[in-house]
Chains A and B, each alone.
Chain A
Amino acid sequence: MTAVERNWKPTPTDGVSSPTSTLQASTEEILKARYLSVTLNAASSNSPPSTPFEPTLHKNSHIQYLLRNLRQGFPARYISQAASQPWLIFWTLQGFCVLGVGLDGQTKKQAVDTLLAMQHPEGGFCGGPGQAAHLLPTYAAVSALAIVGQPGEGGGWDKINREKMYDFFMSLKQPDGSFLVAHHAEVDVRGMYCLLAVATLLNILTPELVAGTSEFIATCQTYEGGFCNASFPGWAQHHSSTSPIDPSIPRPPLGEAHGGYTFCGTASWAFLQPYIKTSYRGSGNVKPEVNLKALLRWTVQMQGSSIELGGFKGRTNKLVDGCYSWWVGGCAGVVEGLIGEGVGKSEDKAHATDVPTEPDGEWDDVDDALFNRRGLQEYVLYAGQHHAGGLIDKPPKPSDSYHTLYCLAGLSAAQHRVQPSSSRRETLSAAWTAHAEAEFDGLRKEAFISALSWVEEEGASLYVGGEKNRLNATHPLFNLTVTHSEGIMAHFYRQTIPSRFTKKST
């Protein structure tokens, strides 16, 4: 077995030590040691000499971990998650989906019943039975229902109270276009993402619901290019008593650019495109803008160096962490999709032979992602796995449900390319069935098509460690498989979706 050459250059400190650099250096030591111990163990065990070492995703032990959580439940230290119960269920179920594990009917039924017990009588879902409705568990519950539910009796989908859900959403709306995450709670970009994802899945988007929301999202982009948790509306509101918000008065970002908020801000921006497309045309309103170039720059800057094993950080000068594999690594694909659409790319990426390929040629084709897919996969495979199953922030942390899903989803995002496809868009558009009584048909048709035109590019996958490490692709906006996204949307938009798989012509 040959050791793979790796650059172990530490992050330069310029001879100036500070708390940040000290913590950074000790983390780099930990990551390097982990990498060497994984490769060394492999060398001493079985692999024949001269075979380059390839890391393994220990799928079976992760499946066992998820199964234990699902069947046996969670120990008392998870009391801190007792107001996030739909999340525990979503993380576990979506973990199975990414790992390619199907669920039996009894488990699905039990999950549907549990989730419905958390629906609030006045709309939305709660963190647990008898708690208050909240946007975050609402996203988790609806997404989990997209996985385990179905139409009809006992299927759960028709038990989602969409009218009350809409009323709940509207009751949280603020004059600056943002939303509280719950009554008496904070305004936060995560809540906006959850609301927009759910409104898109359930077909309850209206211009009234999202008026001003794009402007709010745009004000959450910081000078670094990423998004923060919220902006301050006060000055814009103070100075104008007649109109709700004065666009000429600044609403400064509160908090620095951050991986979680950047994913939520970016995906929200993508969800708002149908509204922006259909509502600003000829309205005289100034279209809000997000600086996509700065956003892309920030996103790729978050990828750690070789000694950090290519993992992602959540903020400038902070440490790499497995969950940002999804929040930032996954976000990079969304940004790329937005940039591609912005420049009016009309053809699918199947051409472009004019750029020279790399000497080793194996994966460096021009359609490749703008972040380092190999690097990210290596981080998850070397540093993100716990020997007892489940995935983690970084060694020596214990595994948990949250990091298990977001490490896996990030790994999947680095394996597959799921991007907006113009040909898929055309197919969906041609197959669209207008319903006579449907409201806001223009907006909703665009929302439907826009979300579901994200499909996997064929021949663009890359599996570090080989095909045995393959995970299922996940939709970059919803973090559901494309199949589950299509299933629930077909139901609520009353559409028949043409197959994504082209029949082989003989």
Chain B
Amino acid sequence: MSHVESNDPADQTLLYCEKPEWQDVTPIPQYDGVNPIAPIFYTPEYKDATEYFRAVVEKDEISERVLQLTLDIIQMNPAHYSAWQYRYRTIIALKRPLEAELTLMDVLAIQFLKTYQVWHHRRLVLTALYESSTSDSASSPSSNAAGAAAAAKELAFITRALETDTKNYHTWSYRQWLLAFFDDEALWEGELPYVERLLEADVRNNSAWHHRFFVVFGRVRAKGEVDLEEVLKRELSYTKDQIAFAPNNPSAWNYLRGILERNKKPYSDLQTFVEPYTVPASSSTDEGIVDLDNPRPGPGAQLPCVAALEFLADIHEKAGGEQTKQAIEIWKSLANEHDTMRKKYWEFRVKEASA
């Protein structure tokens, strides 16, 4: 039995029940004495490998050959979480080189991008790699050189994976975990430019918007480390520009709301900016006036924009008093004209404000 796991087809022509080195194991069928309802018809290869896997689990065997077995099963069914779990235990118990495991998993991760387990396995291996390289539990992950190097390599791998699927949920979630866990300035540094590249390619990529929020506001910083007012100014300016570029983009509006809420700033701060987006395009052109703080809708803008109307109504509602009527007018126009699918919701808003 070779030490290195193989994807060599010659190795895979034999079933486990035909392999001489597995003759000591008695395979365990899936169901014993039960005629299962709604069964899956397995291929001979899958049935064979998983019967041996059950036997291995039963014996609690930790061995090199288990690594090949789990890899075979994972390749046939990457969602087989027990095979992943067993593989992880085995790697740790046998003290296998963890970098090699990550490299081996690179191909699988790209191939099975949408599977939870491929990403979680990387996380486990990376954490173990970091922990094995430090015995001093007081140090933070970033103060560990080997850990930081592995994290930087991993970040580059994630970037490649996201090229295949720019909105892959698990990949994004994993990227955010990596940044937070290693919390290394060098890792964080490139994130904002990265987000901007992605939003340049697709201003509607909500995963990239969420990542921006995570990068800008998710990180724990010491007091005084960043000037929050400056950050907010920069974010408002960036978001307003993106809204001007493509106004009917709920991702950008949600981000705008998010940063205001997060920083406890009133929506009314943006009334001047928002108003041109709430009226039909023709009436919103004041040629010659350029206000950098309040970029106007771009040439192709389809107005009025539903998200802008909603935003303006929120400003009016918050102000209360006479302005409540204006909010109600807007909600009614959303309910009956601009956003009729959400009629019930806008009517609910009217009812709440009138109560």
Residues of A within 8 A of B (CB): 7, 11-16, 18-21, 69-70, 73-76, 78-85, 88-89, 92, 107, 110-111, 113-114, 117, 126-132, 134, 182-186, 188, 222-224, 228-230, 232, 234-235, 238, 249-250, 252-258, 296-297, 300-301, 303-306, 310, 315-318, 355, 368-372, 375
A371 touches B120 (CB 8 A): no
Determine which of A184, A230, A315 lies in contact with B206 in the assembled complex, contact meaning CB atoms within 8 Å: A315
What are some 11 contacts across the A-B interface (CB < 8 A)? Answer: A15-B298, A79-B76, A117-B31, A132-B81, A223-B255, A223-B258, A224-B254, A256-B169, A256-B206, A370-B344, A371-B342
Please choose the segment from B8-16, B153-161, B213-221, B320-328 that sits at the chain A interface, where 4 or more of its residues have CB less than 8 A away: B213-221
Q: What residue in chain B is nearest A224 (Cβ atoms)?
A: B254
Task: Give the complex CA separation of A469 and B205 in angstroms.
Answer: 37
Task: Give the complex CA separation of A315 and B43 in angstroms.
Answer: 36
A113 touches B81 (CB 8 A): no
Give the shortest distance, in Å, between B208 (CB) and chain A (any CB): 9
Q: What would 7 more interface pairs be, CB under 8 Å, given A7-B340, A18-B205, A88-B40?
A: A12-B302, A13-B248, A80-B77, A130-B30, A186-B120, A317-B204, A372-B344
B81 touches A130 (CB 8 A): no
Give the shortest distance, in Å, between B259 (CB) and chain A (any CB): 8
Give the shortest distance, in Å, between B87 (CB) and chain A (any CB): 10
**Residue B261 at the A interface, CB < 8 A?**
yes
Name A's interface SS: loop
Q: What residue in chain B is nearest A7 (Cβ atoms)?
A: B340
Interface centre among B39, B40, B166, B172 (most CB of A within 10 A): B40
Which residues of chain B from 236 to 266 have a CB within 8 Å of any chain A CB? 245-251, 254-255, 257-259, 261-262
B341 touches A130 (CB 8 A): no
Per-position binary interface string of chain B over residues 172-203, scored 1 when its CB falls under 8 Å from any chain A CB and 0 otherwise: 11001100110100000000000000000111
Which residues of chain B from 266 to 318 have a CB within 8 Å of any chain A CB? 297-302, 305
**Residue B20 at the A interface, CB < 8 A?**
no
Residues of B within 8 A of A (CB): 28, 30-32, 34-43, 46, 50, 53-54, 57-58, 76-82, 84-86, 88-89, 116-117, 120, 123-124, 140, 166-167, 169, 172-173, 176-177, 180-181, 183, 201-207, 209-210, 213-214, 217-220, 245-251, 254-255, 257-259, 261-262, 297-302, 305, 340-345, 348, 351
What residues on A are CB-neighbors of B169 within 8 Å? 229, 255-256, 258
A18 touches B214 (CB 8 A): no
Please provide the 7 A-B residue pairs with the shortest distance between their CB atoms, ordered closest to farther. Answer: A15-B300, A223-B258, A252-B218, A256-B210, A20-B204, A255-B173, A130-B54
Interface centre among A81, A228, A256, A258 (most CB of B within 10 A): A256
Give the shortest distance, in Å, between B297 (CB) and chain A (any CB): 8
A375 touches B341 (CB 8 A): yes
* Given A16-B246, A82-B77, A370-B345 contact (CB < 8 Å): yes
What residues on A are CB-neighbors of B140 within 8 Å? 238
Q: What residue in chain A is nearest B124 (Cβ atoms)?
A: A184
Task: Give the complex CA separation of A472 and B32 in angstroms.
Answer: 36
Determine which of B77, B82, B213 lies in contact with A79 in the assembled complex, contact meaning CB atoms within 8 Å: B77
Give the shortest distance, in Å, between A136 (CB) and chain B (any CB): 9
Give the shortest distance, in Å, between B268 (CB) and chain A (any CB): 18
Determine which of A79, A222, A297, A372 lies in contact with B42 in the assembled complex, contact meaning CB atoms within 8 Å: A79
A14 touches B298 (CB 8 A): yes
A132 touches B176 (CB 8 A): no
Give the shortest distance, in Å, between B101 (CB) and chain A (any CB): 14
B220 touches A249 (CB 8 A): yes
What residues on B are CB-neighbors of A83 within 8 Å? 77, 79-82
Determine which of B89, B120, B180, B201 lies in contact with A232 in the assembled complex, contact meaning CB atoms within 8 Å: B180
B40 touches A85 (CB 8 A): yes
What residues on B are CB-neighbors of A222 within 8 Å? 210, 213, 258
B181 touches A234 (CB 8 A): yes
What residues on A are CB-neighbors of B84 within 8 Å? 184
B218 touches A300 (CB 8 A): no
Interface centre among A81, A182, A255 (most CB of B within 10 A): A255
B205 touches A20 (CB 8 A): yes
* Given A228-B173, A230-B173, A18-B204 contact (CB < 8 Å): yes
What residues on A are CB-neighbors of B348 within 8 Å? 370
A74 touches B36 (CB 8 A): no
Determine which of B38, B50, B218, B248 lies in contact with A92 in the assembled complex, contact meaning CB atoms within 8 Å: B38
A14 touches B37 (CB 8 A): no
Give the shortest distance, in Å, between B131 (CB) and chain A (any CB): 14
Task: Give the complex CA separation of A306 and B342 in angstroms.
Answer: 10
Name B's interface SS: helix
* Given A255-B169, A256-B210, A70-B38 contact (CB < 8 Å): yes
Interface centre among A69, A117, A223, A253 (most CB of B within 10 A): A223
Q: What residue in chain A is nearest B218 (Cβ atoms)?
A: A252
Give the shortest distance, in Å, between B83 (CB) and chain A (any CB): 8
Q: What residue in chain A is nearest B339 (Cβ atoms)?
A: A305
Task: Give the complex CA separation of A82 and B167 in angstroms.
Answer: 26
B38 touches A129 (CB 8 A): no
B167 touches A318 (CB 8 A): yes
* Given A18-B203, A82-B46, A253-B214, A70-B37 contact (CB < 8 Å): yes
Task: Give the complex CA separation of A82 and B43 in angstroms.
Answer: 12
What residues on A are CB-neighbors of B301 within 8 Å? 14-15
What residues on A are CB-neighbors of B213 within 8 Å? 222-223
What residues on A are CB-neighbors of B167 within 8 Å? 315, 318
* Given A316-B206, A371-B345, A18-B201 contact (CB < 8 Å): yes
Task: Give the complex CA separation of A238 and B86 in angstroms.
Answer: 29
Task: Give the complex CA separation of A232 and B181 in angstroms.
Answer: 8
Give the shortest distance, in Å, between A274 (CB) and chain B (any CB): 27
What residues on B are CB-neighbors of A21 within 8 Å? 204
Give the shortest distance, in Å, between B162 (CB) and chain A (any CB): 13
Q: What residue in chain A is nearest B205 (Cβ atoms)?
A: A20
Q: What residue in chain A is nearest B36 (Cβ atoms)?
A: A114
A13 touches B246 (CB 8 A): yes
Task: Give the complex CA separation of A322 and B343 in angstroms.
Answer: 21
Determine which of B85, B166, B220, B300 lies in contact with A183 in the assembled complex, contact meaning CB atoms within 8 Å: B85
Give the shortest distance, in Å, between A346 (CB) and chain B (any CB): 15
What residues on A are CB-neighbors of B261 within 8 Å? 223
Give the shortest distance, in Å, between A419 (CB) and chain B (any CB): 15
B40 touches A81 (CB 8 A): yes
Give the shortest distance, in Å, between A62 (CB) and chain B (any CB): 16
B41 touches A76 (CB 8 A): yes
Q: What residue in chain A is nearest B203 (Cβ atoms)?
A: A18
Give the shortest distance, in Å, between A232 (CB) and chain B (any CB): 4
What residues on A are CB-neighbors of B181 within 8 Å? 232, 234
Task: Give the complex CA separation of A252 and B344 in angstroms.
Answer: 33
Q: What residue in chain B is nearest A249 (Cβ atoms)?
A: B220
What residues on A are CB-neighbors of B173 within 8 Å? 228-230, 254-255
Task: Give the complex CA separation of A188 and B340 in angstroms.
Answer: 35
A255 touches B218 (CB 8 A): no
Q: What residue in chain B is nearest A133 (Cβ atoms)?
A: B82
B50 touches A82 (CB 8 A): yes
A256 touches B343 (CB 8 A): no
Q: What residue in chain A is nearest B208 (Cβ atoms)?
A: A256
* Given A18-B203, A229-B173, A255-B173, A79-B341 contact (CB < 8 Å): no
Give the shortest distance, in Å, between A407 (CB) and chain B (any CB): 19
Determine which of A85, A223, A255, A371 lies in contact with B344 in the assembled complex, contact meaning CB atoms within 8 Å: A371
Task: Give the complex CA separation of A138 and B115 in angstroms.
Answer: 20
A16 touches B38 (CB 8 A): no
Q: What residue in chain B is nearest A306 (Cβ atoms)?
A: B341
